[in-house]
Amino acid sequence: MTVQEWTFLLVGLSFALYIWIAYKSRASSTSEFYVAGKGVNPVVNGMATAADWMSAASFLSMAGLIAFMGKDGAIYLMGWTGGYVLLALLLAPYLRKFGKYTVPEFIGERYYSDAARVVAVLCLVFISFTYIAGQMRGVGIVFSRFLEVDINMGIFIGMAIVFVYAVWGGMKGITYTQVAQYTVLIFAYLVPAVYISIIVTNNPIPQLGFGDTLVNGSEYLLEKLDRVTTDLGFVAYTQNTKSMIDIFCITAALMFGTAGLPHVIVRFFTVPSFKDARKSAGYALIFIALLYTTAPAVSAFARMNLIDSIQDVDYVNSPQWFKNWEEIGLIAWKDKNQDGKIRYSAGTALEDTKPKYLGQERGSHGERLLVNPPNNKNDNEVYIDRDIIVLANPEIAKLPFWVIALVAAGGVAAALSTAAGLLITLSAAVSHDLLKKTFMPQISERKELLYSRLATAAAIGLAGAIGVMNLAFVAQVVAFAFGLAASTLFPVLLLGIFYKRLNKEGAIAGMLIGLIFTLSYIIYFKFINPELNSSDYWLLGISPEGIGFLGMLLNLILAITVSSFTKPPPEDVMKMVDSIRSPQ
């Protein structure tokens, strides 16, 4: 069987499984639709949380990013796991004890204010939409490479599948599909990683193989990687290139942002008790850590294999994967010294970085011709899109076809599970927080359930439309969803539980300053003056990716200051805080 046939088979089978599970677990009440009836076992919820959490970015992009960042990649590894400690210790058990359906609902009641709830809904909608758009791109990439369909067609197929099980099953349906999706994605991630680990280091456990010696010699993998990267003009693989303060702030923004993401928090509303919420966060992190500790190993293997398989090779003899990805436009080669050999080293190969091809015109060696002039400041001749590393890795390591197909099915599972979780969170914010709690309090449960299904359908349509439009800025802002979650929602949730004196005025002021400060810093450096986006111009040397941490500190300070000058919250709110703190 060919790769394509295998891919059709495995992706098709996984789709059939998701639909079957969704059919078996349809939602029949708002409680089932929003929080799966609060009856989910903590281990099952941990697994669903892991699938919900690990998006197309974690599955497809992260290892590739780390392969090119080296030690700096730790910002993602620590940033996207450390937040679970904060969730488990500071938020999940208390918010579960509160016992309602959504995050804005807690903010609305804790700060006794419709305005606070609406601000929270706004933050939630903004965070979730930027995030969903990234998932759609992930589905598009997988479909276009492996099923050889148009990217838009891929997005439509993905939307149709999510539509069926999210609208039908609500939170209950997606919880059980996410368990299946976790199984598919972790299997798809580990199988090639184990294979490659054995090939490179003869150690079947990637987490250990990563620190082991190479098969052909006594040199350690990381040692060789340091040596080779330095020779090619890069900073050594195990050294940082970013400044310490920037690494600190980005890691912090990602951690606090994780803990403030509504679609993650809401998963802990689905377990039976606050004790289960604590445990469930621990299980979730075990399931996540399985992928997150494998990823840096995959990165190191991939970087090594990549250099070994293309460096100084004649283009005519270059591996098939190199030409396949060039065909799709994610790899480009410009023969700067006209010797017909591929030369890979530090620096960007082309002016404007991203390749623009001259239609289907071919050069003397059969390579695709480029419009971009070469960047003559360095000798590098190769452009490689970071997103392809995980997908290309099995091909680079020459693994069997079924493994390559499995990775495609895993990538789709990762993207769909995250998109579904976000869609339910979005629709709950609209139908529950805006309609039921703010504008139409008299509607019946049946009506509310209908509205939440309509809201889900509308959100899918909108997310798909954003994916089809393929707006370049969307991919740029996904990472900033974390900065916004850290600087808006996390502080008011934290203080809402641990600082009784915090009142309505403080919470709203805090959220607004966090939102305005973080958003304007990002917009200034990313869209208004992108040419100034370097450490010389950044505030205290903190990049836009890490600024959410500063926004969070501002939010905390302002919220507490404003509260101390205004009147304390009413007695019944104080009582509510006491009750969520109590173990009874």
Among the residues of 202-319, which ranges form H helices?
206-209, 221-231, 244-260, 262-265, 274-310
Amino acid code (one letter) for 168: W
**Site mask, another protein, residues 233-252, x = CB under 8 A?**
-----x-x---x--xx--xx
Here the tokens at position 520 are: 């304007």
First CA to last CA across the chain, in angstroms? Answer: 59
Between 82 and 170, CB nearer to another protein: 82
Question: What single-letter DSSP state applies at residue 544?
Answer: T
Residues 275-304 that bind another protein (CB under 8 A): 275, 278-279, 281-282, 285-286, 289, 292-293, 296
* Contact between 483 and another protein per CB under 8 A: no
Q: Identify which of residues 93 and 140 has a Cβ nearer to another protein in the complex.
A: 93
Q: In whole angstroms, how far apart are CA 265 and each of 30, 101, 124, 148, 435?
A: 18, 11, 12, 37, 21
> In this structure, are residues 421 and 174 in contact, taking their beta carbons and an 8 Å threshold?
yes
Is position 583 an interface residue for another protein (rule: CB under 8 A)?
yes
For 566-578, b/e burial (b = at least 16 CB within 10 A) is eeebeeebeebbe
The size of the interface with another protein (CB under 8 A), counted in residues, is: 48
Q: Does 77 bind another protein (CB under 8 A)?
A: yes
Q: Which is nearer to another protein, 284 or 558 (CB)?
A: 284
DSSP category for residue 267: G
DSSP state of 357: E
Work out whether 211 is an interface residue with another protein (CB under 8 A). Answer: yes
Question: Three-state SS for 448?
Answer: helix
Q: CB nearer to another protein: give 339 or 578.
A: 578
Q: What is the rounded CA–CA span in Å between residue 78 and residue 351?
A: 33
Residue 462 within binding range of another protein, rule CB under 8 A? no
Is 368 a residue that touches another protein (CB under 8 A)?
no
Point out which span in 74-82, 129-137, 355-363, 465-473 binds another protein (CB under 8 A).
74-82
Distance of CA 551 to the CA centre of its chain: 21
> Per CB under 8 A, does 74 bind another protein?
yes
Q: Is 174 in the site for another protein (CB under 8 A)?
A: no
Shortest approach of another protein to residue 293 CB, angstroms? 5
| CA distances in angstroms from 501 to 103, 307, 308, 474, 582, listed in the order given | 20, 58, 61, 39, 17
Is 227 one of the binding residues for another protein (CB under 8 A)? no
**Complex with another protein: residue 91 or 559, whichever CB lies closer:** 91
Residue 4 vs 213, nearer CB to another protein: 213
* Type of residue numbered 360: Q
Q: Looking at residues 85 to 104 of the shown chain, list those that interact with another protein (rule: CB under 8 A).
A: 85-86, 88-90, 93
360 binds another protein (CB under 8 A): no
What one-character-per-residue DSSP string does 473-536 give? HHHHHHTHHHHHHHHTHHHHHHHHHH-TT--HHHHHHHHHHHHHHHHHHHHIIIII-GGG-STT
Residue 65 near another protein by CB under 8 A: no
Retrieve residue 280's tokens. Answer: 């469930």
Give the residue with the Cβ less far from another protein, 247 or 513.
Answer: 247
Q: Which residues bind another protein (CB under 8 A)?
A: 66, 71, 73-74, 77-78, 81-82, 84-86, 88-90, 93, 207-208, 210-213, 220-223, 238, 240, 244, 247-248, 251-252, 255, 275, 278-279, 281-282, 285-286, 289, 292-293, 296, 578, 581-583
